[in-house]
Structure 1
Amino acid sequence: MSEERVLATYVIETPYQLEHAAVVMAGEQSTGTFVSVPGETAFIKETYGANIVRITELEPAAAPSLPGCKPPRGDANPVYRRGEVVLSFPYHNFGPSIPNLLATVAGNLYELREFSGLRLVDLDVPVQFMEKYRGPQFGIAGTRELAGVTGRPLIGTIVKPSIGLSLAELQALVRELALAGIDFIKDDELNGNPPYAPLKDRVRAVMEEIERAADKTGKKVMYAFNITGDIDELRENHDVVVEAGGNCVMVGINSVGFAGVSHLRTFSQVPIHGHRNQWGAMTRSKALGMEFRVYQKLARLAGVDHLHTNGLDNKFYESNESVVRSVRDCLTPMFGDDTVMPVLSSGQWAGTAIDSYRAMQTVDVLHLAGGGIMAHPGGVAAGVESMKQGWEAALAGHSLGEYASTHVELRQAMEKFARP
């Protein structure tokens, strides 16, 4: 039987001794339960049981982070201990299966009453997973080749308003963006296959404008159509895009699941743009859920080529430090050179380019600005130009004000979007 193992790292909080809590974790997620059972033989424990690799004590919490924890009986003033726990699970318990892997490393653990906090912070899986899961098909290099962009980030936007545009209004917007030289456009995740503008009609309308603009400019914009739907709809939706000449599809990872993404990857002929909407429910509490480091590894295995990471100074709760870590995680190879393109979005505008480059030290990002382009005082085309100018300044080592003094679109963006 295989000796390969999966390593899962957690940060836990518990009113019990850390060693006791770790034993409970290992038993619950492998061969044990709350009470000894006759069938749990020494052979079964040794062959299929989870092992405790390491326990590192951290600073205790002043109070329980989550409700529902039951301290040891008779302990009126429990200490809520915190620690990092590394567990090792036999690979042969689940094999190369992301759904069953998740049932093991992120299953009932979150509900155990011994814990007032539990978070999966890292995950290492054996190379056998690549025998089934194909990973990114295009990744950074393939995306750059399709978009015709080298030496700088891809500049993109999200269709705004997110929903409600007629097909004629959408065509006019795509036409303006394409002729302005944008690299990438995506549907908003709210716009899937609505009755007022079915996906087939939207694809046809958009691709007519993209092809027409390409004839004039020689540049074919990459457009990520949102094909999220039930599993049996993914192939049909994908084929609608490809047959119309489309060059990217978008899927809500948490809506279709990793198994849905993996299914799409088996037949996709274009890059898969992975949107992480609903991610906040999985991670916003630091005492619960999982780190992005784990999430991106699973999404990468499943086959996304682009993955949202949030952006600096975003409109959401996430810190800049967390965003930078997420970008670096996406750019760290797992097996071979299978990196994914980090997607910066949320509250982005031309002025965030300099800080992004300084903090991330890479141009291998897709930088999306919705309002930062659509609401530019000089218009949509000026918004696209301002984003390019922001990155020109960043790569040349100029300050924003210095470069804006000779570039009107960047100056207008500063006047509109810069925070006091």
Structure 2
Amino acid sequence: MDYLDLKYTPKEDIVCTFILKGKEDKKTLSSKIAGESSTGTWTKVLYSKKELNAKVFSINKDTIKIAYPLELFEKGNIPQLLSSVAGNIFGMRGIDKLILRDIDFPKKYVEAFKGPELGISEIRKKTGIKERPIVGTIFKPKLGMSPKQMAENAYLVFSAGLDFAKDDENLSNQDFCKFKERFNLITKVLDKVENERGRRPIYAINITAPYDEMVKRAEFAKENNGNCIMVDAITLGFSSLQSLLSKKWGMLIHCHRAMHGAITRSRDFGISMLVFAKLLRLTGVTELHTGTVVGKMEGSKEEVVEINNFLRKEWFNIKPIFPTASGGLHPVLMPELIKILGKDLMITSGGGIWGHEMGAASGAKAMLQAVDAGVKNIPINEYARTHKELESAIKSWKGFEKENYNYKIKH
């Protein structure tokens, strides 16, 4: 088997970890995967270069590791990488389970990427927030508000102390909420709040669109004092994302992972969120949605913690970035969330702020109070005795945890 070498030790290879099951024995099946994802085909052909063959070097039950010579890859080209290691193999016959669990990159491959322009340290300096998570919101309802309504709501939460607000993933430039009008009105709110409170909040406007239009929107935001742009990275595609982020924008790049679950969630076929996190960090995003553990989105504690730890660690020339916890979060969940995921974190809450019975400003205050309690390790019920907004939130949402997120309407 030209693609099997269990004595091989990877050097400057790209190493992929797969979970694999199929109808043939592991050595035969894994060799077929290695061949199809590197130099092989279904029969012998002329001009084969064995030195470029991928090598299966580890088989441990259903977990196999394949080393790919670096020469197989064009540096700085993520689409080409994925066309190789996650291309044809998912369509091969005889496979019952195939998951690309992880990719380890050598220094030479990573250094072909510039990574994020702004990392955790720059964002903390920019915001002035040193010792706690950055706390934000997603405008709700997801769709339907006018720019004027969004700006009015932005003032409610920003004047209450919230650090950050973002469009939802499916808001772009619809007739009821035009991009430029929305941006201009909310930017005026940022100016007003900065004058009142001495600190400028962050607004992530969704620029996701066909590439040429997306660049125009990013340029508009930069030219008009924007401080953050948002992209739906998976639906956008790596080619567009890499091209967009090859430019220096001087703004935060907030990365939503909409549609990732169609690829990452299956336990039989797909690519893990950890792999996407590594690739997206290479492209240069500064904040990435990774899961909450305690909220409405699927994702185990082990998986989310592993991804977050990777995003925050040193990685050759690539700056650490903020993981973002978002989806079904409300004040009651904050102490547990912070205990699990730590303080170097961005937290965004939609319904947990806009659904507060005392109004959105109180919702923002309740979230900040709950985060403060979590950071200081003060029991949330004790903290609520002197914070009426948090007390109200506890009455509304105590017991409303991840097992309750089954899309029932809570009145």
TM-score (norm 1): 0.89
Cα drift, residue 110 of structure 1: 0.9
Question: In the TM superposition, what whole-angstrom CA distance separates every residue of 1:251-301 from its partner, at most 9, and x where no partner exists?
Answer: 010122122222222222211101100010011112211222211110000
Match of 1:16 among 18, 21, 24: 24
Distance 2:293 2:186 in 1: 30
Partner of 1:62: none
Match of 1:323 among 280, 285, 304: 304
Partner of 1:28: 36
Q: Does 1:166 align with 2:146?
A: yes
Match of 2:236 among 256, 259, 264: 256
**1:121 is aligned with what amino acid?**
R
Distance 1:305 1:26 in 2: 33
Q: Contact 2:34–2:56 at 8 Å: present in 1 too?
A: yes
Match of 1:285 among 254, 263, 266: 266
Partner of 1:333: 314
Question: In the TM superposition, what whole-angstrom CA distance separates every residue of 1:24-63 from its partner, at most 9, and x where no partner exists?
Answer: 01111112111222343xxx12x21111111111xxxxxx
Q: Contact 1:133–1:262 at 8 Å: present in 2 too?
A: no
Distance 2:159 2:284 in 1: 31
Change (3 A) 1:337 1:23: closer
**2:378 is aligned with what amino acid?**
H
Q: How many residues align?
A: 388
Match of 2:65 among 82, 86, 100: 86
Partner of 1:80: none
Partner of 2:254: 273
Question: In the TM superposition, what whole-angstrom CA distance separates every residue of 1:119-160 from its partner, at most 9, and x where no partner exists?
Answer: 011111222334432111112112222222111001100011
Q: Does 1:311 align with 2:296?
A: no
> What SS is found at the alignment partner of 1:101?
helix
The correspondence of residues 43-122 of structure 1 with structure 2, limited to 5 A, is 44-45=49-50, 47-57=51-61, 83-96=62-75, 97-122=77-102
**1:309 is aligned with what amino acid?**
T
Distance 1:191 1:99 in 2: 26
**1:25 is aligned with what amino acid?**
I
Distance 2:176 2:356 in 1: 28
Distance 2:119 2:173 in 1: 26
Cα drift, residue 240 of structure 1: 0.9
Partner of 1:67: none
Match of 1:416 among 373, 388, 396: 396
Cα drift, residue 183 of structure 1: 0.3
Partner of 2:13: 5
Partner of 2:347: 367
Partner of 1:124: 104
Distance 1:336 1:242 in 2: 25
Identity %: 31
Partner of 1:212: 192
TM-score (norm 2): 0.91
Structure 1 unmatched ranges of 5 or more: 58-82
Question: In the TM superposition, what whole-angstrom CA distance separates every residue of 1:183-213 from its partner, at most 9, and x where no partner exists?
Answer: 0000111101223322111111110111122
Q: Does 1:395 align with 2:403?
A: no
Q: Contact 1:312–1:352 at 8 Å: present in 2 too?
A: no
**2:117 is aligned with what amino acid?**
Q
